[in-house]
Amino acid sequence: MFNRPISLYSKLFLFFCLVVLSLESQAQINLEKKDSINRLGKKRKLFAFPAVIYSPETTLAFGAAGNFYFKLGKDNTVRTSYVQGLGLYTLRHQAVLGLESSIFFHDERYILKTKASSSYFPDRFWGLGNDTPNGNLEYYTVGQYYFFSQLLRKTYKSLFLGLAYETQNVFSFEYGSGIARGKSIFDTESVPGRFGSLVSGVGLVAFWDTRNNAFSPSRGFYFSYYVNNFSSFFGSSFAYTSQAIDVRKYFLLRKGQVLAFQFVLNTNDGDVPLRSMSNIGSNSMLRGYYEGRFTDKDLIGIQAEHRIPLIGRFGMVVFAATGRVGSKTSDLFVLERLKPSFGTGLRYAIDKKEKLNLRLDAGFGRRSNGLYFNITEAF
């Protein structure tokens, strides 16, 4: 049974209680010692703290989060590598384990990026498309594993090229409970992947990256292009081609303020299962919508964020975004059906030198809202 969301005031009170707990636990658990092997005396740091998180998808979630960051080699110009971990259990009886890392090797000749997760997740579905009505709501539950890794090599200045492997195994997919036989929206729309799915594919990735920081850039440009072919040759039970473009630009303003922009375009061509489709709403793009409230093959999104230092370790942001999903690429450019999103957030610098922040964002969409707590910036 899904729990009703708590009020916004309760969420804000919860966050400030969490900050106090986080600071206390950081003082006790923070492992900050010099690497005896590194003659330059660089530090490797681990921040670990209890996590109490609220989002539209989970309501309240309890668990633990941590961030281990470090530098490889003796070159101080190499950006800081990091490994982030998260384990949660929610009031909606969802269990999530997640891991994300970016490792910058000596002279940044190679970069290894990895995302992995395992989850048991009661979720919601309104049908496919950009304009599904609220009355279509249906509950379902999935169990899945996900793994995505990219190995890139610097080929020219800030240009990196490499290979990627992505797989997702939805081993459990349950729906239709309490619905009259034959009336489930999964069946009436013949939604691909409603009986489970396994996708697996090897792809190509290229990006140009001149950002000055991996956690919270204040200047620079980022462009990435990713294409992957999921086919039976790699063990996939669904055959389709996925492409993703991600463009970001950062401007340093007066008094340490930063203006950041992002554009994303995701397209899928072929037989795409539901859990591999594009979604509006997340803790990074179009904040304020339930992730999956609008779902289809393709997605376009653009957002801007103004980051403002306040006092000491505290800062704030204001942001706005818009985007939409569609069953084909041409649908994405029907401008009158774009979904708006805006919001504001607080920041607390765990490490001012490395620009590693805790963030709380309140996002608002069309007849929708969400509160997000996370480590590092949205983009």
Predicted pLDDT of residue 51:
75
Q: Characterize the bridge pairing of strands 197-209 and 59-70.
A: unpaired
CA-CA distance, 180 to 218, in Å (whole number)? 54
Predicted pLDDT of residue 176:
86
Predicted pLDDT of residue 371:
84
Within the chain, which residues score under 70 in pLDDT?
1-43, 178-182
**Per-residue pLDDT tens digits for 199-245:** 999 999 999 999 998 889 999 999 999 999 999 999 999 999 999 99
CA-CA distance, 283 to 372, in Å (whole number)? 6
Q: Nearest-CA neighbor of 10 among 57, 61, 60? A: 60
CA-CA distance, 226 to 115, in Å (whole number)? 15
Predicted pLDDT of residue 374:
79
CA-CA distance, 87 to 89, in Å (whole number)? 7
CA 192 to chain CA centroid, nearest Å: 23
CA-CA distance, 238 to 72, in Å (whole number)? 39
Predicted pLDDT of residue 32:
39
> 8-375, what's its fold?
Porin (2.40.160)
Predicted pLDDT of residue 320:
98
Give me the helices (H) in 124-271, please: 185-188
What distance separates the 2 farthest-apart alpha carbons in the chain?
Answer: 69
Whole-structure pTM value: 0.83
Kindly provide the b/e burial profile for residues 154-189, where b requires at least 16 CB atoms within 10 angstroms of the residue's own CB. beeebebebebebbbbbeebebbeeeeeeebbbeeb
Pair of tokens at residue 11:
């969420």
Q: Nearest-CA neighbor of 284 among 298, 267, 268, 299? A: 299
Predicted pLDDT of residue 180:
57
